[in-house]
Amino acid sequence: VSRTIGVDLGGTKVLAAVVDDGELISSAKVPTPASGGASAVVGAIERAVGQAVDEAGGGEVVGVGLGAPGVVDPDSGTVVAAPNLTGFDRPVPLAALLADALGQERVVVDNDVNAAAVGEHRLGAGRGVDDLLVVFVGTGVGGGMVLGGRLRRGPGGLAGEIGHMVVAERDGRRCSCGHPGHVEAYAGRGAMEAEARRCHEGGERSLLVEAASGKRIKSGAWRDALEAGDAVATRLVDDAVVALGAGLASVVHAVDLELVVVGGGLADKLGATFVGRVEQAVRSRLLVPTSPLRVVPAALGDASGVLGAALLPT
């Protein structure tokens, strides 16, 4: 038996899948409960897993892996803090709760970005490469660092926190974490939207902001605004490319890599052109132009999280 269950626990939905040798056999989605505390979330995971297993025609599984949106201690399977989940404002021993609820001995819980990075490394654009960084450019900018074929966490769990690399020490835009000049303050969709709204309110008319009205500006809207030549969107995406290029060049000058995989909602929508521009931005900042570094788009899209989670117990 090589089947495992992967769970991508998000702030709005729980995605569960049965995965066999890297192949997705079945999947099911349920909404993440907005109230009821941790036990309600565990119940929702149980339902999603049950549906996915039923759809796969039942059968034995050898383990469950889950990616959670927050700070996780993977050794104990505890979600230390996950502000977007009800009942997770204090530590929740999620692996133990799920082992009990699902009747599974082997349950592994990790951070969702780590799980997705494992997915891209083992099954996606990073297959066969031992030293790589997987960067996800979405609402924020996160990543997973793989060195010597293994996901690196580091002694303080900060490895791969690419969004918080410093690219503009002085007078930099302020990051959601409070520090100035971080990559995420330029390349995270949340920060980019805030900046676009500031520009628009400052009198620089932006189709991007007008089209979204009061609603969240989605990744597809950024792509559409770029294609329509919107000046604010064009400038802010340029800034994002520069910040990612500088941050990734710093990664290369710190540990050197052969591959950077760029995924996440915004990068997926902006596509290969965006990733190619990021590659150019990185290469143009390297000390040695002969570096073997390649920067490529992620291959698994939204599925990286659930596929990577399914690999965690293996």
Q: Which is nearer to a copy of itself, 1 or 158 (CB)?
A: 158
Query: CB-side exposure of 40: number of CA atoms within 13 Å?
Result: 12
At position 94, the amino acid (one-letter code) is L
Rg (CA), the chain: 20
From 44, 97, 116, 159, residue interacting with a copy of itself (rule: CB under 8 A) = 159
Nearest to 114 by CA among 74, 166, 81, 63: 74
Q: Which is nearer to a copy of itself, 7 or 159 (CB)?
A: 159
From 96, 168, 194, 207, residue interacting with a copy of itself (rule: CB under 8 A) = 168
Assigned token pair, 152:
């690196």
Q: Which is nearer to a copy of itself, 40 or 286 (CB)?
A: 286
Assigned token pair, 254:
């710190």
Tell the smallest beta-carbon distance from residue 226 to a copy of itself (Å).
Answer: 21
Tell the smallest beta-carbon distance from residue 197 to a copy of itself (Å).
Answer: 22
Distance CA 121, CA 124 (A): 6
Site for a copy of itself in 246-285 (CB under 8 A): 246-247, 249-258, 285
Q: Which is nearer to a copy of itself, 124 or 142 (CB)?
A: 142
Q: Does 91 bind a copy of itself (CB under 8 A)?
A: no
Secondary structure of 21-65 in the HEC alphabet? CCEEEEEEEEECCCCCHHHHHHHHHHHHHHHHHHHCCCCCCCCEE
Q: Using alpha carbons only, give the angle 243, 262, 266 rounded to the nearest 5 degrees.
A: 75
Which span (45-53, 159-167, 195-203, 206-214) binds a copy of itself, by CB under 8 A? 159-167
Site for a copy of itself in 213-242 (CB under 8 A): 242
Tell the smallest beta-carbon distance from residue 259 to a copy of itself (Å).
Answer: 9
From 55, 131, 195, 224, residue interacting with a copy of itself (rule: CB under 8 A) = 131
Which span (10-18, 21-29, 175-183, 205-213) binds a copy of itself, by CB under 8 A? 175-183
Nearest to 174 by CA among 46, 124, 131, 166: 166
Nearest to 72 by CA among 63, 81, 61, 64: 81
Q: Does 9 bind a copy of itself (CB under 8 A)?
A: no
Nearest to 51 by CA among 22, 80, 86, 15: 15
Q: Which is nearer to a copy of itself, 103 or 148 (CB)?
A: 148
Nearest to 277 by CA among 217, 226, 232: 226
Q: Does 41 bind a copy of itself (CB under 8 A)?
A: no
Residue owning tokens 């960084």: 133
From 48, 115, 165, 262, residue interacting with a copy of itself (rule: CB under 8 A) = 165
Q: Does 169 bind a copy of itself (CB under 8 A)?
A: yes
Distance CA 312, CA 309 (A): 5
Nearest to 221 by CA among 264, 270, 184: 270
From 147, 211, 231, 299, residue interacting with a copy of itself (rule: CB under 8 A) = 147
**Span between the terminal Cα atoms of the chain, in Å:** 12
Q: Does 58 bind a copy of itself (CB under 8 A)?
A: no
Q: Which is nearer to a copy of itself, 19 or 82 (CB)?
A: 82
Q: Which is nearer to a copy of itself, 44 or 244 (CB)?
A: 244
Q: Does 162 bind a copy of itself (CB under 8 A)?
A: yes
Interface residues with a copy of itself (CB under 8 A) are 131, 133, 145, 147-148, 152-162, 164-170, 177, 179, 181, 242-243, 246-247, 249-258, 285-288, 290-293
